[in-house]
Structures are given as C-alpha cells and as structure tokens.
Structure 1
Amino acid sequence: MSDESRAGATFPLVCPHCEKPTLATVTSAASGGGHQEPPYLLELARCGHCQDPFMMVEEDFGEGWDGDPVILWPQKRRPLSFKVPEALRREHEEALQCFSSKAYTATAVMVRRTLEGVCLDQGISNSGRRPPLFKMLEQMKNDGKIDGRLFEWAQELRVLGNQAAHFTGTEVSRQDAEDGLALAEALLDYLYVLSAQFDAFKARRAKDNQEGDKGSSQ
C-alpha cells in the first residue's frame, strides 16, 4: 500500500488530546526506515471527536503495516527503543494504552506481564513447570542480569501486579500505575539498551587498546 493510499484510513483508539475513544482518520502519511530499523509509516491523523491532530507510527516486521498504530505525538512518554524485543514493546504499549484509558488496575496487570515476558526472553525458565515470577526474578539477579536495586524495583512491580490481578477490593491508584510504567520502562532500557551499549563500548575500547599496543611495539 502506498503512502498516498493511507489517506482516509481510520483507526479506533483513545485520543491523546481529549482522552476519549474515537475513530481517527489519517490525513497524510510518509514511510521510511529499512536500514538499522524496521520499515515504518508515519501518519498524521485527526481525532473524530475533538478534531485535534496527532502523529502515529506503524511498523512493518515482514508482514506489511501492522494495522496497530502507536501515537508518537503528543505523548508524555518516549517510545521504547527498537532494541527492545517486539513482543515486549507490544506488552508495554498495551500497558500504556490501559493507562491512557484510565484503567489503572489493568495497567498494573500488563506491567506484570511485561516482567514475566522479560524473564522468559532472558532464558529464565526450566524445562518443566514454569517457576513463579518471584523465583525467575531472583534467578535473574543471581545470574547477574540485574543488580540488587533493579531486583528490588522488579519485585515491587510484581507485588503491584499480583494485587491488581486478584479481587481484593483495593484499586490501583493512578500514581502507582504511572510509577509502575516508569520502572518497567527503566528495566527494559537497562536490559536491552544500556547493557548492549556498554558491552559495545567495552568491545570498542578493548579493540582500540589492542591496536594501540601493536602500534607501540612496532
């Protein structure tokens, strides 16, 4: 589908301006990417309720545009890096959508799902019955994948998610849901962005030092 043919397409979503469910209409689009990141389609759309414009993005992971646009602007939070696995980005995005819809209990449940997905993506499981999330997080700490502070963050998110997943009569507050999103995002950045960047930095430094040693010995 060409960029021009996207004009007029509609998507059901929650407007980032009026925060009401609406049918947004695409007014223009432009595609890009395909080198260091998946092909993407930027779409300028307009809310069918308040008529305010906003920017969305769709991604192509080999099966065409996914039909599930993510709002880029206006957005209080930056989008996750493409270095975070797609499945985890989708879980986190759904948590953000729950928050935007003021479904704070559902937000906490999705944050817990994201945590569980992180553990499984990091290979923290066994061949038999899946261990409890507490044990998986503990194993990540023991394996050196997260430090003590991140383990403490993750455990608090797990507890919040457990409280949200069971009928206790206690609602998850907006502040707890927002903090949960921020901590989950920090954990994803640490594991998939900052750790990879630090490993690349160390490898580059080691290579430079080796080349420097060779030069000084000549």
Structure 2
Amino acid sequence: MSPTFRVGQSFPLMCPHCEKPALATVTSEAVGGGDTEPPYLLELVQCGTCHDPFLMVEEDYGQGWDGDPGVLWPPQKRPLSIHVPQDLRREHEEALQCFKSKAYTATAVMVRRTLEGVCSDQGMSSGTGRPKPLVKMLAQLKDEGKLDGRLLEWAQELRVLGNEGAHFTGRGVSREDAADGLALAEAILDYLYVLTAQFTNFKDRRAKAKQDGASSK
C-alpha cells in the first residue's frame, strides 16, 4: 500500500480538547486493514492552539481516502437516537453548541427549553387554556407514570438551573453544572424515547414467543 506522506500537513478544524477553531498538524501516521476490512489511515494530530494530541481515522472504500477524517480519540459525544423527536434533538444540539462555545448560562437555558419541549411532546401542556408552569408539567409526567421519582428529581433540578440561567442574578452557571445539565437532559430523553420503547418491544417480543410456544404444544 503506497504511503500517504501527510506527516507535516496542517488543516483547520475544531479541536476536540480545547473546543476552539485551530490549525492542526499531522505528526505521524499508519495504515492498516485491507484484508477483511477496508484500509484505514490513522493520523496522530496536534492542535496548534492547545498543543494537545488526538487521533483521527480515514477509510478507503475503493476510491481513495474519504478526505473526511473522524476523531477516534478522545471519545466524542454520541449523537442522540433518531427515536428522539427531531425538534427535541435540535433543542438539545443547540444546548450542546452553547456548551462548546463556553456559553454555560445559555446552555442551562437551552436545557430548560428541552424539558419544556419534552412536556409539550408528551401532551402535558394541553387543555389548560393558558401555559402550564414547567414544575406542574414535570409533576404530571410522574403522575402519569412516564417519569419515576429519581428522574423527576433530576428534571426539577434542571428546571431550577434553567431558571437561574434565564434571570439575572449576578452569577453565571458553572461549566460543571452546565455539563451535568446536558448529561441529565440526555438521560431523560433516552429514558422516555429510547429505553421505554425498547423495553416495550422486548416485552411484546417475549409475550409473542410465549404465545407461539404455547400454541405449538
């Protein structure tokens, strides 16, 4: 396999460490695969801003390297499941972009908007004649069995964090609180739209298997 000679080349990207636009330089490379899997090119890259290294990978599916290397290390945040409604994925993604821009107060506000979107999607805001407070919509989710006690506690804390971000108090939201808010909001989305559906499908499949087994006797 021919060498690529990319060592020393630089290109612009968003650094996965410092999360800033940077000019990154390939410091070393290695090629693998080619027998039972497509050839892949590993590139050790160094950020020109924070100088931390990271590992990128490209693959060749018969038309040369794809030219779109992905970050292999450090691990990147996984995207939300497609089972989460698009509007909610968009709200969460905007919260994530605020976090990457170090706008932590804005992150908290967007997390709260995501919770409001969840309540609206679950039908908690309908039939009241006027907007229902988020605290009551979250409680209604628990009353209807859609959130358990621990998840409701998480959601209420995120609501409070969002309130602190939305009103001027002279204090900003910390990076740690914003990061935890994102993670907890994602856990709630996964619980409501991914794990709940997966468990329902699991139970239905098990019940059908038992029914089929009983009818074959």
Distance change in 2, residues 1:85/1:175 (3 Å): same
Distance change in 2, residues 1:149/1:17 (3 Å): closer
Partner of 2:179: 178
Retained in 2: the 8 A contact 1:124–1:139? yes
Partner of 2:141: 140
Retained in 2: the 8 A contact 1:145–1:191? yes
Q: C-alpha separation between the residues in 2 aligned to 1:175 and 1:145?
A: 28
Q: Does 1:88 align with 2:115?
A: no
Give the 5 Å matches for 1:1-218: 15-21=15-21, 76-127=76-127, 128-216=129-217
TM-score with structure 1 length normalisation? 0.69
Q: C-alpha separation between the residues in 2 aligned to 1:94 and 1:162?
A: 18
Distance change in 2, residues 1:101/1:75 (3 Å): farther
Structure 2 residue identity aligned to 1:76: Q
Structure 1 runs of 4+ aligned residues shifted over 2 Å read 13-23, 52-55, 71-76
Structure 2 residue identity aligned to 1:185: E
Retained in 2: the 8 A contact 1:108–1:164? yes
Partner of 2:3: none
Q: C-alpha separation between the residues in 1 aligned to 2:80 and 2:101?
A: 20
Fraction of identical pairs, as percent: 69
Q: Return the offset for 1:18.
A: 4.7
Q: C-alpha separation between the residues in 2 aligned to 1:75 and 1:132?
A: 38
Q: Return the offset for 1:170.
A: 1.4
Partner SS, residue 216 of structure 2: helix
| CA shift digits 1:128-174 (9 cap, x unpaired) | 11100000000000000000010000000000000100001111111
Structure with the greater alpha carbon radius of gyration:
2
**Structure 1: gaps (5+ residues):** 1-12, 24-48, 56-70
Structure 1 residue identity aligned to 2:150: R
Q: C-alpha separation between the residues in 1 aligned to 2:172 and 2:210?
A: 56
**Structure 2: gaps (5+ residues):** 1-12, 24-47, 58-69
Retained in 2: the 8 A contact 1:14–1:101? no
Structure 2 residue identity aligned to 1:80: L
Partner SS, residue 80 of structure 2: coil
Q: C-alpha separation between the residues in 2 aligned to 1:197 and 1:81?
A: 12
Distance change in 2, residues 1:14/1:95 (3 Å): farther
Structure 2 residue identity aligned to 1:145: K
Distance change in 2, residues 1:93/1:207 (3 Å): same
Report how many aligned residue pairs link the two structures. 169
C-alpha RMSD over aligned residues: 2.8
Retained in 1: the 8 A contact 2:120–2:126? no
